[in-house]
Structure 1
Amino acid sequence: MDSTLLWQVITQQKTWLDHHTDPAQALPLRVLKLTEEVGEAAAALIGLTGQNPRKGITHTTTDLAAELCDVMVTAAVALATLVDNPEETLNEHVGKLYTRSLTAGAPPLSPLGTGPDHAAWAASLPKVVASASLLLTDKTNRTLLVHQTHGSTTLWNLPGGGLEADEYPAQAARRETLEEIGLDINPGTLLMLDWRPRNDARPPLVQYVFDGGTLTDEQTAQISLQPGEIFDHGFFDLDGARERLEPHTFERLVRLLAVRDGTESFRDLEQGQLRD
């Protein structure tokens, strides 16, 4: 079983268990379940080595291996309950363990920078996610905002979303805009980069924002919202945008409009603020 299939099974197990568990109890119960599984592994070891004179040899190597696998699977399900990216989290952690072992004198897997050694190094690198959006306005310079849903969270934002594997930022901005509002717009100039630090829901995030231009009346009439993810939209002046956007997103919008109008040069931001 390759690692992809392994984590698909872990996800399937977690989803199945979620249907039978109070969400508030899921994580503590699954962490505590580890103590039961470790105890069964210890019992199998005693049975394998005959440490209980009354019972003698009661387990095989295969039995102990199975119990150890149960420990690993239980830990993986608990990890998947705790974080949204358990496979990446484990890979990153294992990579760090491996790198520390090399520092302590352990032999490398292969010549540095190649094969498994390079893969372990790559897995140890910090993970960053990226998104791309379009700044779209109408003829009165009001900004198009969409009301997005992300799981249980809803927020107003520019049309856009996360980059897929091997996708350039401008491609992502174009694809996400087409998916969200039904307009195929080729991104123009990159107006801004914004950095958001890690939070409980995701790794650090870098956000690209491109100029999408001014929509015509015909394009505005053709807007079609993506079912299930976009349930409202509108064109807003800065006062209307301030009422709907999170503070850092509003600050970013103010600077985006200034950059596009030529009153401010391209800058990289940190949570919507100019970098010191």
Structure 2
Amino acid sequence: MADSRDSITVTTVADGVARIRWEGAPTTDALRHEVAAALTEHSRVEALVAIDDAAGQRAATWAGLHREGVRRSVDDDGEQSDHVVYARLVTDAPVQEPGGFRALLNSFLPRKRAIAQMLVRDTEGRVLLCRLTYKRDWDLPGGVVEVGESPRVAVQREVEEELGLQIEPRGLVLTDWLPPWGGWDDAVCLVFDGGTHPTSVLAGVVMQEREIRDVRFCTLEEVDELAADFTARRVRAAVGGTEAYTESGR
């Protein structure tokens, strides 16, 4: 029986960088052996696996290569030919160690985009909405949660950056899942209670010109008119307080 390593090739593609390729289904031990051998002379070993090659992606993972992302490209015939980039660095912790195994898992397990928004109302029960510069629809104040940032910290930061208001977020009033839409991946929107404030709070607003065109308190009927339908549903669900979880406001 031929050694499964016969189907594996390792080529130096840049200073300190090796690229590993294989045909068929080499054993995990064979791939790991070749990766380890390449790292004795290189600081990085990488593999490019076709995005629709599930077996190849499993093989790369079992060999201890971390998923780094997708390299988009077009072949000579003008067809899109995307590949998943996998790599292992000489400084990566061994997969046999708990930290190394967790880092490997962390590289390919799903990640969910998180958005944190704040529900701020005035004494008449109207809802604070912002008119954004990059879309026509109005929305609740807030924004994307940064990597390693807590959603509570994120929404307080966003409200201060966008509106110049320092409002301490209270409890979570709604978790709303947003399906993929218009080029966006799916996301989870967390709506925090920003409390009730006098209308005069608007006098202290300092709008971030790059993102905010206007801000005002709106009735629910005005929310329906000014906001996207899924945003209006989310606002009504948050105001109603009867649902802790919705999907696109439903």
Shorter-chain TM range is 0.5 to 0.7
**Could you tell me which of 91, 115, 125 is aligned with 1:141?**
125
Q: Is the 1:192–1:209 Cα contact (8 Å) retained in structure 2?
A: yes
Q: Is the 2:202–2:216 Cα contact (8 Å) retained in structure 1?
A: no
Partner of 2:112: 128
Change (3 A) 1:107 1:166: closer
Change (3 A) 1:245 1:113: farther
Partner of 2:210: 228
Question: 1:225-253: CA deviations, max 9, x gaps?
Answer: 11111011111111111111111111111
**Could you tell me which of 240, 244, 251 is aligned with 2:222?**
240
- Point out where structure 2 has 5 or more consecutive residues left out of the alignment: 1-10, 18-47, 66-93
Aligned residues: 179
Counterpart amino acid of 1:130? A
Q: Is the 2:64–2:104 Cα contact (8 Å) retained in structure 1?
A: no
Partner of 1:8: none
Question: 1:106-130: CA deviations, max 9, x gaps?
Answer: 6556545746554333221122110
Q: Is the 1:99–1:121 Cα contact (8 Å) retained in structure 2?
A: no
**Could you tell me which of 234, 238, 241 is aligned with 1:256?**
238
Change (3 A) 1:145 1:107: closer
Partner of 2:244: 267
Map residues 41-190 of structure 1 onto 2, 5 A cutoff. Answer: 65=13, 100-101=58-59, 107-108=63-64, 110-111=94-95, 114=98, 117-150=101-134, 153-190=135-172
Is 1:209 aligned with 2:186?
A: no
- Point out where structure 1 has 5 or more consecutive residues left out of the alignment: 1-60, 70-89
Query: Normalising by the residue count of structure 2, what TM-score does the alignment of the two structures yield?
Result: 0.62
More helix by share: 1
Change (3 A) 1:97 1:148: farther
More strand by share: 2
Change (3 A) 1:194 1:114: same
Change (3 A) 1:107 1:181: closer
The percentage of counterpart residues that share the same residue type is: 33
Q: Is the 1:131–1:169 Cα contact (8 Å) retained in structure 2?
A: yes
Question: 1:79-110: CA deviations, max 9, x gaps?
Answer: xxxxxxxxxxx99x69x66652179xx65565
Change (3 A) 1:141 1:202: same
Change (3 A) 1:257 1:200: closer
Counterpart amino acid of 2:247? E
Partner of 1:25: none
Question: How large is the Cα RMSD of the aligned pairs?
Answer: 3.1
SS in 1 for 2:130: strand
